[in-house]
Amino acid sequence: MSKKRNLYLNTIPVDEAREKYLKAVSELLTMPAERIPVTESLGRVTMSAVYARYSSPLFNASAMDGIAVSAKDTEGATETSPVILQENMYTVVDTGDPVHNPYDAVIMAEDIVETDDGVRITSSAAPWQHIRPIGEDIVAGEMILPGSHKIRAIDIGVLLSAGILEIDVVKKPDVAIFPTGTEIIEPGEEIKEGSILESNSRMFENMVTTMGGNGHRFPPIKDDYDEILSKVSDAADKYDMVIINAGSSAGTEDYTVHVLRELGEVIVHGVAIKPGKPVILAMVKNKPVIGLPGYPVSAYIGFENFVAPLLSIMGRRNEAVNEQIEAHISKRIVSSLKHKEYVRVKVGKVGDKFVAAPLARGAGAAMSLVRADGFCVIEQSSEGVEAGEKVKIELYRNKNEVENTIVIIGSHDLILDITADMMPGKYNNMFVSSTHVGSMGGLMSLKRGEAHMAPIHLLDEETGQYNVPYVKRLFKEPMAIIKGVNRIQGIMVKKGNPLGIKGIEDLENPDVRYVNRQRGAGTRVLLDYKLKQLGMDSEKINGYDREMATHMAVAAAVASESADAGMGVLSAARAMGLDFIEVAYEEYDFAAPVRFLELPHIKAFTDIIKSPEFKKELDRLGGYTSDASGRIVLV
Ligand SMILES: Nc1nc2c(c(=O)[nH]1)N[C@H]1C(S)=C(S)[C@@H](COP(=O)(O)OP(=O)(O)OC[C@H]3O[C@@H](n4cnc5c(N)ncnc54)[C@H](O)[C@@H]3O)O[C@H]1N2
Ligand code: MOO
């Protein structure tokens, strides 16, 4: 096979692609039955209706502890003229005991008095009172469960009561999963330049399990046409479906589509969806074979859109669809008419509205899926949405959890991760979600009603005071500052400080490749303040325009080949094994509207930052003092 690029330029709309494919493979999706013990059938799907073998109860049974009697023997009994039942006129029964002829009623133990002459009763018994007749619950021959029903715990109980021990269920679809790519290594293997740790197939395997199938994951196959061909051909004989991962686009070693064309028929290659464009929908030896793109988010979204619907049909399961809510989007999203786009969002409820903050959009950003609470789906016919616009969100987290989450938007600090970690452990069903847009960005979000709190560290050049002047200037409504921590800011440099940087002054050295924070970030404001104090010119700093969004991103850049210095907090420098030159202590606080201070999750948050456990964590990280943490200052 020559190194030929495979330039597919035409994509078709998602719904059209799915419909076309489902039509082509519709005959191939019927799974046979499998007979299994009822006791092992939880979550399986009934092949056909199930009928009761026995009735329940199997006999007329007493519903109470007491005596079984003939109703006619009790006629006329009242308080004033009790009836005495002699020993041969009743029998003692417990709940569940059979009641035989001639008895046709049960009197509760509380309603009888034993006397020397027999049992005295003071009211008559109605025929069949306190008796559960044969078949009261289940009648032999009646339908207990319909076909295509997902078996629940209660169903198992009833099936067994009805005398059923084994049941025909739909066989689980067996899905072969092949990761491909010469650069792909198994987790645990030695990492070399260019290696990518194999992860997608494990994600697929578990997505298949969640959908009620069996995933059979194979070790990675090298980018070798013949090897891919023989493995896929073999798997199409043995499995109900095959997934091939990566090699789906235009790379010189992207063989998947060629292999599938040789082995069978490619029905669709290229769908107007982002991420997920180069999906391949094919058929080999009468089995559905799907090629999913290599990027993790593309792989996930491709699976959800094309593999999941097939598994639903094969397994006859009506999967619960994600709950939909309406939310206000916090940032403008521009999207192309060329595709339908799945934008991952964090969702929170602030006041009485849901707000959604878009996360990283790259197809390689698997963490965007981990962090997301849902998707904002931008239809192909839309060019995007404006900030503040109402959008539909497919939630994939519980709505109740979203409602109990504090939404924090602003400057990043590791203490946000610590509170997010401590919150649900200390306070049941309360969560912290933070999005990092810098201090000014956070205040703007707060003003637009998109967040409960904004973490900020903004130095006012005129007064030399932190935070309060900014909040005073920007807000009309009553505001508070919840005191956070004092933290040391400094210059992070490579271990051993090879360029001998001593302070801000040295950043003018053209050999020092600096990496900056974005405009509006408190760290950037601090740098600019210091430059002004020192009479320095930002234009002389090599890399002043190179912007990163968090302390950790700056630290990672300094730890790599690409930069020598960047400003940030000590904890980030330590996390990356960097040296640190102290510049100044600053106040990192939380701005919040006064009206939110009484919310239970805000109070919980304030309690956490006051707690000794929290202080212990700060000591561990280093570079913080926290005397005022949790104190509320009205602005
Ligand atoms: N010239 C063009 N290049 C690309 C196009 C295009 O239209 N023209 N499409 C881009 C899009 S969109 C996507 S999505 C990707 C799809 O890539 P492939 O499916 O061909 O996959 P690879 O290139 O082999 O890998 C992409 C990426 O994913 C990593 N990967 C692969 N397998 C795994 C795995 N099992 N576990 C974890 N990560 C995996 C791989 O190492 C790469 O980093 O193509 C664009 N290119
Ligand atoms: O389809 Mo690709 O996933 O857009 O990046």
User: Given a cut of 70, is residue 3 above it in pLDDT?
Assistant: no
Same-domain status, 523 and 506: yes
Residues in the chain: 635
pLDDT at residue 443 in the model? 96
Q: In whole angstroms, give the CA distance from residue 281 to residue 256.
A: 11
Q: How far is the CA of 294 from the centre of ligand 1 (A)?
A: 4
Q: Tell whether ligand 1 has an atom less than 6 A from the beta carbon of residue 184.
A: yes
State the pLDDT at residue 621.
87
Residues 380 and 472 in one domain: no
Find the ligand nearest to 177 CA.
1
Q: Is residue 565 part of a domain?
A: yes
Distance of CA 296 from the midpoint of ligand 1 (Å): 9
Question: Same domain, yes or no, for 105 and 143?
Answer: no
CATH code for the domain of 272: 3.40.980.10
Structural domain includes residue 253? yes
C-alpha–C-alpha distance, residues 180 and 220, integer Å: 5
User: CA 473, 490, 500: angle at the middle one, nearest 5?
Assistant: 145
Domain-embedded: residue 123: yes
- The parent domain of residue 78 ranges over 61-132
Distance 188 CA to ligand 2 centre (A): 28
| Cβ-contact 178, 236 below 8 angstroms | no
How does residue 479 score in pLDDT terms, banded at 50, 70 and 90?
Answer: very high
Residue 434: name the closest of 498, 346, 513 by CA. 346
Residues 6+ apart with CB under 8 A from 544: 514, 516, 538
> DSSP string covering 224-266, please?
-HHHHHHHHHHHHHH-SEEEEES--SSSTT--HHHHHHHHSEE
Label residues 591-624 b or e (16+ Cβ within 10 Å = b): bbbeebbebebbebbbebbeeeebbebbeebebb
Joined tokens for residue 297: 């988010």
Which residue, by CA, sits nearest to atom 2 of ligand 1?
A: 250
Q: How confident is the model at residue 359, as a pLDDT?
A: 92
Is the beta carbon of 277 within 6 A of some atom in ligand 1? yes
Q: Name the one residue in this structure whose structure tokens are 């000794």.
A: 612
State whether 450 and 522 are in the same domain. Answer: yes
Same domain, 184 and 222: yes
List the CATH number of the domain containing 359. Answer: 2.40.340.10
Residue 592 placed within a domain:
yes
Count of domains for the chain = 5
Asked which of 282, 315, 348 is the last residue of a domain, the reply is: 315
* Three-state DSSP state, 351: coil
- Assess contact for 82 and 115: CB atoms under 8 A: no
Distance CA 91, CA 104 (A): 11
| Residues 284/242, Cβ–Cβ less than 8 Å | yes
What's 159-200 look like in SS3? Answer: HHHCCCCEEEEECCCEEEEEEECCCEECCCCCCCCCCEECCH
CA of 291 to the centre of ligand 1 (A): 11
pLDDT higher than threshold 70 for residue 6: no
Please answer whether residues 504 and 583 qualify as being in contact, where contact means their C-beta atoms are separated by less than 8 angstroms.
yes
Q: Which ligand is nearest to the CA of 298?
A: 2
In a domain, 424, yes or no: no
The reply to whether 481 and 375 lie within a common domain is no
Supply the residue whose CA is at minimum distance from atom 3 of ligand 2: 275
At residue 9 the predicted structure's pLDDT band, cuts being 50, 70 and 90, is low
Which 3 state secondary structure label does DSSP give 444? helix
- Residue 301 CA: nearest ligand 2 atom is 3
> How does pLDDT run across 247-275, given as a tens digit for each residue?
877 677 788 999 999 999 999 999 999 99
- Same domain, residue pair 269 and 185: yes
* 300 pocket-lining for ligand 2 (C-beta < 6 Å): no
DSSP SS3 for 318: coil
Tell the residue nearest (CA) to atom 26 of ligand 1. Answer: 294
> Is 145 in the same domain as 97?
no
251 pocket-lining for ligand 1 (C-beta < 6 Å): yes
CA distance 329 to 359: 11
Query: pLDDT tens digit string along 13-43?
Result: 999 999 999 999 999 999 999 999 999 999 9
What are 284-335's pLDDT values in tens digits? 999 999 999 999 999 999 999 999 999 999 999 977 788 999 999 988 999 9
Mean pLDDT of the chain: 94
Q: Is the CB of 277 inside a 6 Å radius of any atom of ligand 2?
A: yes
**With a 6 A CB cut-off, is 183 part of the ligand 1 pocket?**
yes
Q: Which of 277, 340, 341 to mutate to test the pocket of ligand 2 (most atoms within 8 A of CB)?
A: 277
CATH number at residue 110: 2.170.190.11
Mutate to test the pocket of ligand 1, among 195, 221, 224, 295 (most ligand atoms within 8 A of CB): 295
Q: Are 347 and 327 in contact (CB under 8 A)?
A: yes
> Which of 75, 110, 132 finishes a domain?
132
428: in domain: no
Is residue 276 within 6 Å of ligand 2 at its C-beta?
Answer: yes
Which pLDDT does position 4 carry in this prediction? 57
Q: What is the identity of the amino acid at 224? A: D
Instruction: Give the global pTM.
Output: 0.87
Concatenated DSSP letters for 99-119?
Answer: --TT--EEEEGGGEEE-SSSE
In this predicted structure, the answer to whether residue 142 has a pLDDT above a threshold of 90 is yes
Q: What is the pLDDT of residue 436?
A: 85
User: Which numbered atom of ligand 1 lies nearest the CA of 199?
Assistant: 36
Indicate which atom in ligand 1 lies nearest the CA of residue 247: 20
- Give, in order, the Cα–Cα distances in Å from 230 to each of 43, 94, 249, 263, 350: 35, 69, 21, 9, 55
- Amino acid identity, residue 499? L
CA distance linking residue 581 with residue 566, whole number of Å: 10
Q: Are residues 457 and 535 in the same domain?
A: yes
Q: What are the b/e assignments for 190-227, b being 16+ CB within 10 Å?
A: eeeeeebebebbebbbebbeebbbebbbeebbebeeee
Above pLDDT 90, what percent of the chain? 90
**Residue 7: band (very low, low, confident or very high) from pLDDT cuts 50, 70, 90:** low
Ligand 2 contact via 580 beta carbon (within 6 Å): no
**Percentage of residues in the chain having pLDDT higher than 70:** 98
**Ligand 2 centre distance from Cα of residue 220 (Å):** 21
Query: Of the candidates 386, 403, 420, which is a domain's last residue?
Result: 403
Residues 508, 577 within the same domain: yes
In the predicted model, is pLDDT for residue 2 greater than 50? no
Identify whether 3 is part of a domain.
no
Is 5 part of any domain? no
Q: What is the CATH number of the domain that holds 165?
A: 3.90.105.10
Q: Are residues 214 and 269 in the same domain?
A: yes
The band of 1, judged by pLDDT with boundaries at 50, 70 and 90, is very low
From the CA of 273, the nearest ligand is: 2
pLDDT tens-digit map of 509-564: 999 999 999 998 889 999 999 999 999 999 999 999 999 988 999 999 999 999 99
Q: Based on the fold, state whether residues 40 and 151 are members of the same structural domain.
A: yes
